[in-house]
């Protein structure tokens, strides 16, 4: 029997990630893209934005009207964290699950989304990093932290990234903090010749953020022990690196409960 295709609405469809989603989901026969929404490029054909692999749709402006018309199963959204809560409400009010990838969603907004998902019985996901390799990097860092409590994180991103440190760097440091058995070695208070030279501290892990044109999304987690170092590095070299994770979430979200945060919850 033919499997039913998952009906998807892409929000933030004119953006860099949105166009990649249009191509990835539009060219996968297990999905059907039924709506594309953005606040720019309204009225454009999505093939003009995403190329021939994209669906043949007209970009719409109003999310609620688009959901009412197209009746998707899932929204996939890479827009801006400031609209996440409103868009979660618009989706869950209609029994539509959401997969959000915009970074920097606040804890209080996540708490409210949790309530929306539970009250409506409509599952949703927030995934700060869809790259499978990045999720494995965090997993390996957790393992290493048990034996090597001294660690620093350096994350590298393109110069248009708004937030610092990245959500992935914050989460990596928090996971290291929780996984440590021993406290990190106390260091002498540094004489700083330039403010911020030792980075920001997250869960007692120094985190350094590099922003340069030419980069996409990269991170090193460096552990130091007596006479040895261990470096775990991940590089997203192309936005395609996020698409396997995006599709996995879009396929899985409706079988989850409430709000699920992070790709690790469905990988491990
Ligand atoms: P972008 O600026 O190229 O695209 C964002 C798009 O969202 C734009 O087209 C914009 O017009 C649209 N938009 C903004 N507000 C909107 C609204 N209210 N309604 C509809 N559309 C709206 O940015 P990008 O590089 O595509 O990144 C988007 C987000 O995704 C960022 O937060 C970025 O950090 C995040 N991101 C997450 C991952 C991940 O793995 N989770 C990976 C890469 C990027």
Alpha-carbon gap, residue 208 to 139, rounded angstroms: 20
> Does the pLDDT of residue 95 top 60, yes or no?
yes
Write down the pLDDT at residue 50: 97
What are φ and ψ of residue 137, in 5° steps?
Answer: -55, -45
Distance CA(206)–CA(170), nearest Å, equals 10
Gap between the terminal Cα atoms of the chain? 30
Higher pLDDT, 103 or 220: 220
Residue 161 DSSP SS3:
coil
Q: How far apart are CA 263 and CA 268, in angstroms?
A: 9
Q: Look at residues 33, 14, 11 and name the one whose alpha carbon lies nearest to residue 86.
A: 11
Calculate mean pLDDT across residues 219-229. 98
Looking at per-residue pLDDT, the higher value among 175 and 1 belongs to 175
Which residue is it, tokens 């688009």?
66
Q: Under a CB-based contact definition with an 8 Å cutoff, are residues 149 and 184 in contact?
A: yes
**Cβ 129 vs Cβ 168: under 8 Å:** yes
| Nearest residue (CA) to ligand 1, atom 34 | 103
What is residue 201's predicted lDDT score, i.e. its pLDDT? Answer: 96
Q: In the prediction, which pLDDT does 2 show?
A: 61
Contact 173, 205 (CB under 8 A): yes
Residue ranges and CATH numbers for the domains of the chain are: 6-126+240-267 (3.40.50.720), 132-237 (3.30.360.10)
DSSP state of 257: -
How is residue 111 written in tokens? Answer: 């708490």
223 lines ligand 1 (CB under 6 A): no
Ligand 1 lined by 252 (C-beta under 6 Å):
no
92 Cβ inside 6 Å of ligand 1: no
Find out whether 258 and 118 touch, Cβ atoms under 8 Å: yes
Does residue 125 register a pLDDT over 80? Answer: yes
Confidence of residue 75 (pLDDT cuts 50, 70, 90): very high
**Strands 228-236 and 97-100, how do they pair?**
unpaired
pLDDT of residue 122: 98
Answer yes or no: is the C-beta of 102 below 6 A from any ligand 1 atom.
yes
Given ligand 1 and candidates 63, 76, 77, 79, which is best to mutate, with the most ligand atoms within 8 Å of its CB?
79
How confident is the model over 14-42, as a mean pLDDT?
98
Of 157, 208, 234, 247, the active-site residue reads: 157
The tens digit of pLDDT for each residue in 232-251 reads 999 999 999 999 999 999 99
pLDDT digits (tens, 9 = 90+) for 139-165: 999 999 999 999 999 999 999 998 899
Work out the percent of the chain whose per-residue pLDDT is above 90.
Answer: 95
Q: What is the band of 260 on the pLDDT scale with cuts at 50, 70, 90?
A: very high
Structural contact between residues 102 and 84, judged by C-beta atoms closer than 8 angstroms: yes
Band (46; pLDDT cuts 50, 70, 90) = very high
Q: What is the pLDDT of residue 1?
A: 53
Confidence of residue 104 (pLDDT cuts 50, 70, 90): confident
Mean predicted lDDT score pLDDT of the chain? 96
State mean pLDDT over 260-268.
Answer: 94
According to DSSP H, which parts of the chain are helical?
16-26, 46-50, 63-70, 84-93, 107-120, 132-145, 167-179, 243-252, 264-267
The reply to whether 189 belongs to the active site is no
Across residues 23-46, what is the average pLDDT?
Answer: 98
């Amino acid at each position: 029997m033919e499997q039913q295709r998952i009906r998807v609405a892409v929000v933030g469809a004119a953006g860099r990630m949105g166009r990649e989603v249009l191509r990835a989901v539009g060219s996968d026969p297990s999905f059907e893209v039924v709506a594309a929404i953005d606040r720019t490029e309204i009225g454009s054909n999505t093939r003009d934005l995403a190329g021939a692999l994209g669906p043949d749709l007209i970009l719409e402006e109003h999310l609620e009207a688009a959901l009412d018309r197209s009746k998707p199963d899932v929204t996939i959204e890479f827009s801006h964290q400031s609209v996440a809560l409103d868009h979660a409400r618009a989706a869950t009010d209609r029994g539509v699950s959401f997969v959000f990838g915009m970074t920097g969603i606040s804890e209080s907004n996540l708490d409210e989304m949790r309530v929306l998902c539970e009250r409506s019985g409509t599952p949703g996901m927030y995934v700060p990093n869809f790259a499978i390799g990045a999720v494995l990097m965090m997993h390996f860092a957790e393992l290493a932290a048990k034996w090597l409590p001294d660690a620093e994180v350096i994350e590298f991103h393109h110069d248009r990234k708004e937030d610092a440190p990245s959500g992935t760097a914050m989460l990596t440091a928090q996971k290291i903090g929780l996984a440590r058995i021993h406290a990190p070695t106390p260091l002498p208070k540094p004489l700083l010749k330039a403010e911020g030279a030792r980075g920001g501290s997250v869960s007692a892990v120094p985190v350094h953020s590099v922003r340069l044109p030419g980069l996409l999304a990269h991170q090193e987690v460096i552990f130091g022990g007596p006479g040895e170092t261990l470096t775990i590095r991940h590089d997203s070299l192309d936005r395609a690196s996020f698409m396997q994770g995006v599709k996995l979430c879009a396929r899985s979200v409706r079988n989850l409960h409430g709000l699920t945060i992070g790709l690790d919850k469905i990988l491990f």
